[in-house]
Amino acid sequence: MTSADIYDVAVVGYGPTGATAANLLGQLGLKVVVIERDPDIYNRARAISTDEEVMRVWQSVGLAARMQRDMLPGRPLAFVDADGRAFIETVITGRGCGHPSQQFLYQPAVDEVLREGVARFANVDVLLERECLRVANREDHVELLLGDLRTDTFTRLRASYVIAADGGSSPTRGLLGVGYSGRTYAERWVVIDTKVLREWDAHDRLRFHCNPERPTVDCPTPLGHHRWEFPVGPGEDEHELVTDEAVWRVLRAQGITPEHVEILRAVVYSHHVRVADRWRVGRVFLAGDAAHAMPPWIGQGMSAGVRDAANLCWKLAGVLRGEVAESILNSYEAERKPHVTEVTRRAVVVGRVITERRPVVAAFRNHVLRALTKVPGVLAAGQRRFWIPEARYGDGFFAAMPNPAVGRQIPQPTVTHDGVAMPLDDLLGGTWALVYTGALPAGARTWQQIGLQARRISEPGLTRWLRDHGAHAAVLRPDGFIYAAAGLGESLPNPPAGLTLHNLTGAHA
């Protein structure tokens, strides 16, 4: 084993989670290896949407603008009855992250941009057609045994840490002996991907057809694609349902003909609600589908994995540089698992609304929700309660203080610096930072002495947000979450033991 075979972090799996991690770690200057079994990008569109918080992660590695070119932002969504009449119709409201609140995407295009991003970093090696056959924790590193699927040979690598982002069936999770608790729904679903030839009414919106006889999801995707999903009914042959004849029966029932679309593929899959029993085993961390699986109803499977990478990578970099204590790595699961659990719960609830099979109950649902959504404020309240939960962590690497801003992700307005307008994250550059309104708060000097940058904020929206959350000053972690906050006249706490920021560097989009 040569020094070329020794890495800071090995990333197993090159889907969106692994590729995002490789970009984040590459930008932070770590020596990284990515290990992927497949020879190329998986060409079937799986994820179909993302949100503003994920775009903010991709902004941090300079890829958001390029991603945006291939996405559909701001499209409405509707829950419709068997006659096609909407009983809920809305557009997802943003939370001030500086990007569209919800966007539809074509996953192979997203994967391509992420891989192009990784190619920018000479410190990241990508090994395709390699299978990870063994991961062995040692005292100060992890040993990996790789099988080369092209030459039928073996290679040994060493990494300080490993991120296993190798999917729901994660061989790495199996090698570690970690359970994957939860359930797989008995009902299987057919997914139809098409190429749009001629547009039709409502082609550009997400519609949940809540028909007890055949619930169907009708979803726009960019770059000239469109998707339908529907369940395999009792007594139906799933192999027959993916034939062109069966697919056209479903599409024609919605007014779609061969003049409108070309069928690209039809496949059958299962919905899962599962979570790994542990997300960390020694120096190996599970992320993305390897750590959790959820139904697709609110489009958060891929996004949850990107959030995992954003939470974990800056912590790994800090530990490897000696800037934070190794114990910070225990906060990864503590922070991410409750959020994933709540996202999954909401996805299950939305799925029950969509797939209700009892006609009487469905009729009652349609009537009640149609009436309720006409009441001012109900749609907004419903989004807060049943759609993607707020980016907030109740436990983890945060100061022990009662301020309500702690654990929340700060919004990202456009701010002005030296006469130049820019997004807040670009100004802060992905490092620890102190933002404050008015005078520099008591306790700030202690943070500045260890290398923290301090920025006085005058942007009205952000000033108001801080005030509404009881803060006039906030210490931000590199991922934009508030570590500590102080109200008017209050003092910031001291930095945590072992935190030193003098060597911390970051780049921004």
Tens of pLDDT along 420-435? 999 999 999 999 999 9
Q: Which residues of the chain have pLDDT under 50?
A: 504-509
Torsion of CA 372, 375, 380, 381, to 10 degrees: -60
pLDDT of residue 507: 38
**CA 397 centroid distance within chain:** 20
Round to whole Å and give the CA distance between 289 and 272. Answer: 10
pLDDT of residue 509: 31
Count of residues making up the chain? 509
pLDDT of residue 467: 95
CB-based contacts of 423, cutoff 8 Å, min separation 6 = 59, 98, 412, 413, 414, 415, 509
Residue 186 dihedral angles phi and psi, to the nearest 5°: -65, -30
Beta strands 6-12 and 72-73 are unpaired
Round to whole Å and give the CA distance between 448 and 453. Answer: 6
Cβ atoms of 399 and 478 closer than 8 Å: no
Round to whole Å and give the CA distance between 479 and 425. Answer: 9
DSSP state of 320: H
Round to whole Å and give the CA distance between 55 and 66. Answer: 11
Q: Which two tokens mark 426?
A: 């670009």
**Three-state SS at 471:** coil
Domains and CATH numbers, the chain: 7-70+97-179+275-348 (3.50.50.60), 408-486 (3.40.30.120)
Helices (H), 77-129: 107-118
pLDDT of residue 505: 43
Q: Which two tokens mark 251?
A: 């599409």
What digits encode the pLDDT tens for the residues 137-179?
Answer: 999 999 999 999 999 999 999 999 999 999 999 999 999 999 9
**CA 384 centroid distance within chain:** 18
What burial class does residue 186 get, using C-beta atoms within 10 Å of its C-beta: 0-12 exposed, 13-18 middle, 19+ buried?
exposed
What digits encode the pLDDT tens for the residues 443-492?
Answer: 999 999 998 989 999 999 999 999 999 999 999 999 999 999 999 989 99
pLDDT of residue 2: 52
CB-based contacts of 241, cutoff 8 Å, min separation 6 = 190, 232, 247, 266, 268
* pTM of the entire predicted model: 0.95
Task: Determine the residue type at 439.
Answer: A
Residue 85 dihedral angles phi and psi, to the nearest 5°: -90, 130
pLDDT of residue 502: 57
